[in-house]
Amino acid sequence: MESSYPRFHLAIPVTDLEQTLAFYESVLGCEQGRSAERWVDLDFFGHQLVLQWVDGQSQPEATNLVDGHQVPAGHFGPILEWEQFEALAERLRKRSIEFLIEPNVRFQGQAGEQATMFVRDPSNNCLEFKAFRDQRQLFAR
């Protein structure tokens, strides 16, 4: 993926490296890069995501009420093109992936109109996928 914008690097804790890797590869279509016994690099929509195997339990989850939904305070995800978002939502439905927050549109007909959906990976990390009708309005007020 060629682009003029900076890429991000994010490492997340996973409690089951094999199962979580399978989710990112087979469900989300991420390609694997370098790896070692306790971590794997992934191409996460053009960004570097590292799955870091950890021992123990995941931390309790804080949430915030946003538009009537309890949104996990700790979450991440890419901003996709509208068509990519719709295709991913359909792929998640076909694979019976449970949505934390079903695909929906926020700010409909307003500046910054966006589609959003939330899922969890097998290690309980929360992912939000977004798409903007007009990506130039990413930071619109």
pTM: 0.87
Residue ranges covered by each domain of the chain: 9-55+64-137
Assess if CATH 3.10.180.10 describes domain 9-55+64-137. yes
Q: Mark out the alpha helices in 1-137 (DSSP H runs).
A: 17-22, 82-94
Phi and psi at residue 92, in whole multiples of 5°?
-65, -40
Per-residue confidence in pLDDT tens, the chain, 141 aa: 456 678 899 999 999 999 999 999 999 999 999 999 999 999 999 999 999 998 876 666 788 888 888 888 889 999 999 999 999 999 999 999 999 999 999 999 999 999 999 999 999 999 999 999 998 888 887
User: What would the DSSP string read from start to end of 116-131?
Assistant: EEEEE-TT--EEEEEE
Using alpha carbons, list the distances in angstroms from residue 79 to 25, 54, 83, 88, 102: 18, 28, 12, 12, 16
SS3 57: coil
